[in-house]
Amino acid sequence: MSAPAEPVKSAADREATAERLLRSSLEHSYEPAIDIDWVAPLVDGLWGIPQHRSSLYGTALWDGLTEEQRRTLTIHEVCAVARMGLWFEMILMQMLLRYAYDRDPRRLHVQYALTEVADECRHSIMFAKMTERYGVPDYAPRPSTHRLGKLLKTLGTGPAMFAGTLFVEEILDQFQRESMRDETVQPLTRMVNKIHVTEEARHVRYAREELIRIMPKTNRAQRAAARWFTALIACIVARDLVHRDVYAGVGIDRAVGRKAALANPHWQESLRWSARKLVPFLREQGIIGGPSEILWRKAHLV
Ligand SMILES: [Fe+2]
Ligand SMILES: [Fe+2]
């Protein structure tokens, strides 16, 4: 049975939600620079992410790695995924600032947008520090993705901005939520994930409600643009979620590793699993459907 459709939201609802989110931000926020023990030693025998979420899990390449190499690969993978998150957070901060720039700062929902910028700013520093602590390279997005990010932060507004944001936030949330509860995973990953999951729950609420509010006011062309924009973000993020250079960290040729990961049914299933709660919501909002759905299929998200 499918979940009941979310009710349409009014401007009064918007302020009430913002008030709740602002209160929750005061009560449940972290300062990663203080709340994470950055000098604690890493624990021998633990993983960067649960091993069944590795992009190579279940492949012949995985079988050919030693247990130690597999653990190392998952450390590179957690940092690569966080780097993709960081890339999007920088875009999101700019989109949120542009949104606030055009609005009355006395409105609580505008103050919440600014609060979210502050959260994302701490998250980006936290992800960067985690990568440094694990001692792995900076898995910056490819030049084409980097350039696309500049386009997104300049052009992304309205439904496309909130739907794209939801995509990145919700799939990361699913991976991180599972990982923070897994005792085979390094405490550093678990604490970073706990902080991120706690604060992102508010961002997801905010973006979902904004999308519900905006969609009835859009015309056909705006809806079509939002579908393509969101599908493009989803496809790029999902296909490059694990940077191809991570495989070199365990002696596997980057092209060979990437090819095996993209063809890996376990990894494809993980991607669909991470999007399973978001996809019905975006369909209900008219963001998934029509010709752009081909990108969602290509990325193994539906
Ligand atoms: Fe974040
Ligand atoms: Fe967020």
Low-confidence ranges of the chain (pLDDT < 50): 1-3
List pLDDT tens digits, range 101-138: 999 999 999 999 999 999 999 999 999 999 999 999 99
Centre of ligand 2 from the C-alpha of residue 93, in Å: 9
* Bridge partners, residue 185, by sequence: 47
Question: What's the 123 CA to ligand 1 centre distance in angstroms?
Answer: 5
Q: What is the pTM of this model?
A: 0.93
Q: What is the per-residue pLDDT for 1?
A: 41
**Cα 138 from Cα 147, distance rounded (Å):** 17
Q: Mind listing the pLDDT tens digit for each residue in 222-245?
A: 899 999 989 999 999 999 999 999
Burial of 150 per CB tally in 10 Å (0-12, 13-18, 19+): exposed
Quote the pLDDT of residue 153.
84
> 89 CA to middle of ligand 1, Å?
6
